[in-house]
């Protein structure tokens, strides 16, 4: 219940019970103002969630409208999610490669360059070894032209 100025005028506050009711409603008002903010939709972009039992290191490949490129590494602990691209997605396809730094990978058939064990941002997809990079097979994420996509990695 929201107490308006008119409601306060209409109520008689000469009794202690009425005064306590008004005070309790006034305490709820800040909470009611904050509640809509917590109900806003999640930020648009590309999010990867790690549902595996091990830590995932992920790299992203994409075409930015002018050139192909790849970047990484994002570390995603088990049971956590990481926003890789902030803002509305502007491409239909993105590519992802993941590793648990042990024997497991999340991979596919689309080749992109990566830099082992260090952060990277690489322009182009070809001649990885000649440029001092590793070549990894990334799997495709089809956004179906949505502006907000979450991709899960699992065991």
pLDDT at 36 > cutoff 70: no
Shared domain for 90 and 16, answered yes or no, is no
Q: Which residues are CB-contacts of 147 (< 8 A; sequence separation ≥ 6)?
A: 44, 88, 89
Predicted structure pTM score: 0.72
pLDDT digits (tens, 9 = 90+) for 88-103: 999 999 999 999 988 7
The beta strands (E) that lie in 77-117 are given as: 81-86, 93-99, 105-106, 110-114
Shared domain for 66 and 117, answered yes or no, is yes
If one counts the domains in the chain, the total is 2
Shared domain for 107 and 145, answered yes or no, is yes
- Quick one: pLDDT band at residue 1, thresholds 50, 70, 90? very low
pLDDT at 56 > cutoff 50: yes
Query: Is the Cβ–Cβ distance between 50 and 153 less than 8 Å?
Result: yes
Taking residues 40-51, report their average pLDDT: 81
């Amino acid at each position: 219940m929201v107490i308006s100025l008119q409601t306060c005028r209409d109520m008689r506050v000469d009794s202690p019970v009425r005064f306590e009711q008004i005070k309790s409603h006034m305490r709820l008002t800040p909470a009611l103002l904050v509640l809509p903010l917590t109900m806003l939709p999640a930020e648009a972009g590309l999010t990867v969630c790690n549902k595996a039992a091990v830590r995932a290191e992920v790299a992203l490949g994409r075409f930015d409208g002018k050139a192909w490129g790849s970047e990484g590494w994002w570390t995603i602990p088990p049971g956590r999610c990481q926003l890789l691209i902030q803002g509305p997605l502007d491409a239909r396809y993105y590519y992802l490669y993941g590793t648990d730094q042990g024997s497991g990978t999340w991979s596919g058939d689309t080749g992109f360059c990566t830099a082992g064990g260090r952060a990277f941002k690489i322009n182009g997809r070809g001649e990885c070894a000649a440029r001092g990079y590793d070549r990894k097979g990334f799997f495709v994420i089809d956004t179906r032209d949505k502006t907000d996509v979450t991709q899960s990695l699992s065991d």
